[in-house]
Structure 1
Amino acid sequence: MIEVPVALSTTNWAGNYTYWARTLHRPQSLEQLQEVVSAGARVKVLGSRHSFTGIVDSAELVSLEAMTSPDSVVVAPDRRTVTVDAGLTYGEVAAALQPHGLALHNLASLPHISVAGAVATATHGSGVGNGNLATAVAALELVTSAGEVVRAARGDADFDGMVVGLGALGAVTRVTLDVEPAFEVRQQVFDHLPWTALFEHFDEVVSCGYSVSLFTLFGGDVDMVWVKSRTDAAAPPEGELFGAVAADGERHPIPGIDPSPTTPQLGSAGPWSDRLPHFRMGFTPSNGDEIQSEYLLPRAHAVPALEALRALADRIRPLLQTCEIRTVAADRLWLSTAHEQDSVALHFTWVQAQSAVEELLVDLEAALLPLGARPHWGKVFLADAGTLAPRYPRHADFADLVQRLDPRRAFGNAWLERHVLGG
């Protein structure tokens, strides 16, 4: 087993959070991982480091990189599921599925994120009929703080609580995902959607493609609507969309930035994995120099939420790089931000100004929390466990599951106590 000073991985992906861990373990086998977690007083698994907070920080960190390989991808004989190392990125999974002619149902805006990290935080993608990435999990394997290997599958008593586990239950090592036959997607961007058109036709706008994202700086209109349409479904809109006009060139979600890192647009058909994300592998995703926050609300509250944000526009704009509006279908996973409610996701890409962003979030959350907002677990927010627990009907069951799988709280940390578990 390899142990290295944590200085080799001192910050998260965006550089806004510095880990305080003393040691970074790199186990090369399941047995070595069992030894590490059973011996550690406090330990967390470090994935692609795309979280923006201390959700994965601990006295000791574990990298599963040496236990992760695209060669480990196993397609089930019935071609309905695939089992992968949890540390693989979605880009790597997509590449491994390509020779088999298979696809995942959806992808997040970045293919750079790890499967385990995305699933554990209910990271999503978009589409009124699409559940978040965690809903594709059919089974998983994790190592508990006692060093035991636990396997659970859809239908098991605790499974719906284990999937979006926030890293609080154990070290997830293998994940089985639902797959379907590969499909192609066309991506078209529309510029300058009037606010009045969005408010009058919100459901129609977000339903006009398989996956739809809107980007705005809260100015005079919605800057862009990105429509991703499957070629085996209804034809995508052309030319005009409720007053928005088809873009005359490729766009970056952040206005004014070179679109080279983005996936192909202008209506050209291509593989699902090359169109569903906003960004391509091999490039710095998004802007890189940023902080992110996100809140998911009942979809029925989308227009009131956007009106509340427009009222704060003068305070939001100086810190905002872009705000993305997406939809996520309801699910049954206990700590999913879309648990039992079709949701609208309001995602903020901020400039690197942590204290100013947190000061703004006081008023932003005061506007959104009364509308039922649930913060994305992997991004910057302020709400504490006392505020958030009532928003999750199975919260008490999750706390009980944590106690059963990790009674000594080896996978706990200050962030989990403050924002999830309390006490």
Structure 2
Amino acid sequence: MERNWAGNLTYTGRVVTPASVAEVQEVVVANPKVRALGSRHSFNDIADTGGVLVSLEALPPDLELAGAGDTGTDTDTVTVSAGTRYGVLAEALREHGLALPNLASLPHISVAGAIATGTHGSGDRNGSLSTAVAALELVGSDGELRRIRRGDPEFAGSVVALGTLGVVTRVTLDVRPEFAVRQDVYPRVPWTPVLADLEAVLASGYSVSLFTDWTGEHVGQVWIKSAGTTPPADLFGAAPATEQVHMIEDESAAATTAQLGVPGPWLDRLPHFRLGHKPSAGEELQSEYLVPRERAVEAIGLLRAARERIAPLLQISEIRSVAADELWLSGAYGHDAVALHFTWRLDPAGVGGLLPELEAALRPLGARPHWGKCFAATARELAPLYPQWAEFAALRRAADPQGRFGNAFTARVLG
């Protein structure tokens, strides 16, 4: 039986691994229930089905560079197979002197799975990974191959689409010239000045992450990834670490990307973890909620107040910023957001019991869950958080009138 990366979920469907787009089309037409299966890094049943699970990992990468030179090179976009992992794509781009605008914490995840769920990195001016999408090719419920481009009427609803519109087979992404990044880690930064000027802290690098267990008077670590700027000599009195660290106590720092202020290629600094190493803790669950930027300090206060409930189940939390976008089901749709991430211990019952309480506190602030992680909200609670909810429902009905790409997850969270 196939299991997800964390081991908390066993997939119920039969897994097939087509080697061509034509084979994907055949699978879709031949089966009444189909879901695309990415790198299995989702912590909920978003990809599951009692029907057929389509893994795209056997499709050839078929890397294709194109563009008019607006990036300063002769390339503006890269098109790649949807099952390609970001770390593999990043290495291929480096050979051409190119880069993606941003990367998530883990380079292990697949391109299509990440964009379908609104996965993101960090940075005040960096949107989620989905905002780099210029076009998608997908197999629709009728088995036909369609291409949806930026600017098409249905594009804004088709990128972060939870796999409900079809099986994405190829993705076209914006690229830029390669760039260098340095990474500095500041341990034990006091909460009081951080909350007094959270805007400045989040703006102090190209990508910034705050790691905390919500207890005590200090943020455990602040990771600042700088590109073309100099990081602060100290952060409210906290000097940069002088040895490589992991954000989770007792985990090996060898798994984390290079720190200590040594500049290096973008793909070796923007993720938190190295491609060839175990990402995060491994045995874990994850949840994440994106709140409007202006409510972030309030949300952090609520979580600090709930620390006695959170801490026994928690390995580490991360706070990051995400720039606004216009993708209908994105956590940052319509406003800049701050993402509040939880890496839990592998305790499904304990985490499942706590999430309704956390969500009840955060939902009035506009908190939207990460679609691929653990959350308790259903369609009734979620619909008011997304202004284009009805438009997405109409798009889904038109694209998949038979409900071929629906499953228990979509019934629960989309209605």
TM-score bracket, normalised by the shorter chain, equals over 0.9
Structure 1 residue 46 corresponds to structure 2 residue 37: yes
| 1:264-279 mapped onto 2 (5 Å cutoff) | 264-279=258-273
| Superposition deviation, residue 193 in structure 1 | 1.1
- Correspondence 1:30-69 to 2 at 5 A: 30-58=21-49, 59-69=51-61
Q: Which amino acid aligns with 2:204?
A: C
SS in structure 2 opposite 1:20? coil
Q: Paired residue for 2:232, among 234, 237, 240?
A: 237
Identify the residue that residue 73 of structure 1 maps to in structure 2: 63
User: In structure 1, how many angstroms separate the alpha carbons of the residues matched to 2:103 and 2:229?
Assistant: 20
1:29 to 5, 20, 31: 20
2-side partners of 1:62 and 1:180: how far apart? 31
For 1:158-216, what per-residue CA distance to the aligned partner results, in whole angstroms no more than 9, with x for missing partners? 01110111000000000000000000000000011111011111000010000000000
TM-score with structure 2 length normalisation? 0.97
Task: Give the superposition deviation at 1:260.
Answer: 0.4
- The Cα of 1:77 is off from its aligned counterpart by 4.4
Cα distance in 2 for partners of 1:109, 1:30 equals: 29
Deviation at 1:244, TM superposition (A): 2.3
- 5 Å matches for 1:80-159? 80-159=76-155
Deviation sequence 1:81-137 (CA, Å, 0-9, x none): 010001000001101101110000000000000000000001000001100000000
8 Å contact kept, 1:140–1:153: yes
* Map of 1:216 onto structure 2: 212
- The aligned residue for residue 358 of structure 2 is 364
SS in structure 2 at match of 1:45: strand
Shift of 1:251: 1.0
1:302-350 CA-to-partner distances (Å, cap 9, x unmatched) read 1111110011101111110000000000000011110011000000000
Offset, 1:255: 2.5
1:417 corresponds, among 397, 407, 411, to 411
Does the aligned pair in 2 maintain the 1:87–1:173 contact within 8 Å?
Answer: yes
Please give the secondary structure, in 1, of the residue aligned with 2:152: coil
The DSSP-based 3-state class of the residue aligned with 1:66 is coil
- What residue identity is the alignment partner of 2:231? P
Contact kept, 8 Å, 2:225 with 2:269, in 1: the verdict is: yes
The residue number in structure 2 matching 1:324 is 318
Matched, 1:177 2:169: no
- Say if 1:186 and 1:228, in contact at 8 Å, map to a contact too: yes
Deviations 1:228-273 (A, max 9, x none): 000xx221112x1123221121111212322000000000000000
> Match of 1:12?
4
What is the alpha-carbon root mean square deviation over aligned residues? 0.9
Separation in 1, partners of 2:352, 2:5: 19
- Secondary structure of 1:245's counterpart equals coil
Q: CA contact under 8 A between 2:115 and 2:129: conserved in structure 1?
A: yes
Q: Describe the superposition over 1:375-422 as per-residue Cα deviations: whole angstroms up to 9, x where unpaired.
A: 0000000011111111111111111111111110110001111112x1
Report if the CA contact (8 A) 2:356-2:377 is conserved: no
The alignment status of 1:188 with 2:178, answered yes or no, reads no
- Give the Cα separation in 2 of the matches to 1:343 and 1:407: 33
The residue aligned with 1:4 is none
Which of 300, 304, 308 does residue 306 from structure 1 map onto?
A: 300
Letter of the structure 2 residue corresponding to residue 75 of structure 1: L
User: By how many angstroms is 1:67 displaced?
Assistant: 1.1
* Letter aligned with residue 309 of structure 1: L
CA contact (8 A) 1:322 1:348 kept: yes
Measured against aligned partners, the alpha-carbon deviations of 1:28-67 in whole angstroms (never above 9, x if no partner) come to: 2111111110111111011100000110001211111221
Structure 1 residue matching 2:90: 3-state secondary structure: helix
Contact 1:68 1:86 in 2 (8 A): no
> Matched residues in 2 for 1:304 and 1:77: separation?
44
Give the corresponding residue for 2:222.
225
Given that 2:214 and 2:307 are in contact with CA atoms closer than 8 Å, whether structure 1 keeps it comes out as yes
SS, match of residue 58 in structure 2: helix
Distance 1:311 1:197 in 2: 18
The one-letter code matched in structure 2 to 1:52 is F
Q: Give the aligned residue type for 1:403.
A: R
Consecutive unaligned residues of structure 2, counting only runs of 5 or more, are 69-74
Find out whether 1:400 has 2:394 as its counterpart: yes
| In 2: Cα distance, 1:195 partner to 1:248 partner | 22
Alignment correspondent of 1:283: 277
Q: Distance in 1 between matches of 2:107 and 2:313?
A: 26
Q: Can you give the 5+ residue segments of structure 1 that lack an aligned partner in the other structure?
A: 1-6
SS in 2 for 1:82: strand
1:192–1:245 contact (8 Å) kept in structure 2: no
CA distance in 2, matches of 1:190, 1:13: 30
Distance 1:275 1:34 in 2: 38
Q: Give the Cα–Cα distance (whole angstroms) in 2 for the partners of residues 63 and 322 of structure 1.
A: 31
Whole-angstrom CA distance in 2 between matches of 1:339 and 1:179:
22
TM-score between both structures, scaled by the size of structure 1: 0.95
| SS of match in other structure, 1:257 | coil
Contact 1:197 1:243 in 2 (8 A): no
Output the amino acid matched with 1:313: R
For 2:242 and 2:276, locate their aligned partners in 1 and report how far apart those are by CA, in whole Å: 25
The alignment partner of 2:6 has SS state of coil
